[in-house]
Chains A and B, each alone.
Chain A
């Protein structure tokens, strides 16, 4: 095998512990349960057939074959099941799926249930969804395939799953890492095309919109250079993320800067759930393996191995 093949094999298949994936599973399930508890009293108006956007409208707009609440509702209606009952049944199943994911009990089954029911509800409420819902659905989709039950799960306690490092976990982490890079690159490049992100108006506008306003930032109008620098900093972090996160010497700094950016979004724009979800995504994809890469890898059924050098084990 030549050197390139060895590098590619190591990059994609070097066994890694499932800790990051388990953290992702638990944190995403916990955040989603919190979100569901907040939305529960408002489900009929946000997701119901006779809510703010009736299913007939969203069914027309969907334009795909993915199942939605509307289609399930129409299927069950001849059996005497009301659309409201259908909606609550799907959300109860979604909650059950999330609890299963949180506990890591029959993890694969509950991951499929969570992803499927979340897809059903999203299909008929896409007009009311925002960033957090998009990111959650991406993560639910990945959790269906990822070996996330190898740590802190009932499946691991019951001996149903292998708990040591696997190549499958490495593939899963690489997928998360690349997807995260795509997200920041897309948002960063798009921002860079708008003049608001170069003259500082973007930050001003975001902080001063009534829906996001956490504090009075009107004083910022007297210091436009500050807003401009903050916008440039955001562009640098987001556009640079896809490249700099792979540079061992910069990774830690870029990750911390990204986490601080999301903390700022949470505190100043009150987008708590979105920011926490992105922070979990970042930590699961990069922080956990970066931490683990500094310690020797322990293979449970094989001889003890030292961690590959930092250049080979990029993350």
Chain B
């Protein structure tokens, strides 16, 4: 006959210990959110330890979704120059909403970064495109941001537009090198 476990002995005492740990953890979460602790960027052991705890516990970033302002949408596309002289345009998008959101996050991360990081990211995307299209010799990465007029401007007849934010051309090592390549 199966025996049903009874309430663990010392449950309350053990829970009290867990409660203390939980309070410390929540205090750390609060500190990550509202003090400069989470933004410590040094390589010192303490700061790396803090960042490690953040990564492990999931408090990787703040929870400022759509705050303090709603950022502009972005889009990225690739102009591929094929070896036979033709060119091809391929946007970075997906039929899957979930996948498309992740593409947007990658592009948005690039837009927030400095020019050097933007070049590194664009180079990474270009490498993927050159892998997908072995017949392409060069690829130009184009990133645009969405310029949405305010409600007042919209009511007055203004309409949204896409503004160019980044371009970079990348070639294969075995192909012709581009002057514009970063």
Q: What is the interface of chain A, defined by CB distance below 8 A to chain B?
A: 12-13, 15, 35, 38-39, 42, 45-46, 50-54, 57, 62-66, 119, 122-123, 126-131, 134-141, 145, 159-168, 170-171, 174-175, 178-179, 182-184, 186-187, 190-197, 200-202, 204-206, 208-211, 218, 220-222, 224, 227, 270-273, 299-302
Contact = CB atoms under 8 A, between A and B. Distances in A.
A159 B101 contact: no
B18 A171 contact: yes
Nearest to A214: B97
Contacts of A174: 19, 22
A171 B19 contact: yes
B59 to A, nearest CB: 7
Contacts of A208: 148, 160
B163 interface: no
B26 to A, nearest CB: 5
A136 B60 CA distance: 11
Given A51-B128, A138-B59, A224-B152, A64 B51 contact: yes
B98 to A, nearest CB: 5
Contacts of B127: 50, 54
28 contacts: A12-B15, A12-B19, A38-B96, A42-B99, A52-B103, A54-B127, A64-B51, A64-B54, A64-B55, A66-B56, A130-B105, A134-B61, A134-B63, A139-B58, A140-B58, A163-B5, A168-B18, A171-B19, A175-B25, A183-B63, A187-B67, A190-B64, A191-B68, A196-B70, A205-B72, A209-B146, A221-B152, A301-B7
B14 A168 contact: yes
Contacts of A170: 15
Contacts of B105: 127-130
Interface in B12-64: 12, 14-16, 18-19, 22, 25-26, 29-30, 33-34, 41, 43, 48-49, 51-52, 54-64
A176 B41 CA distance: 28
B133 interface: no
Given A64-B55, A211-B73, A300-B6, A193 B60 contact: no
A150 to B, nearest CB: 10
B62 A190 contact: yes
A55 B52 CA distance: 18
Contacts of B33: 182, 186
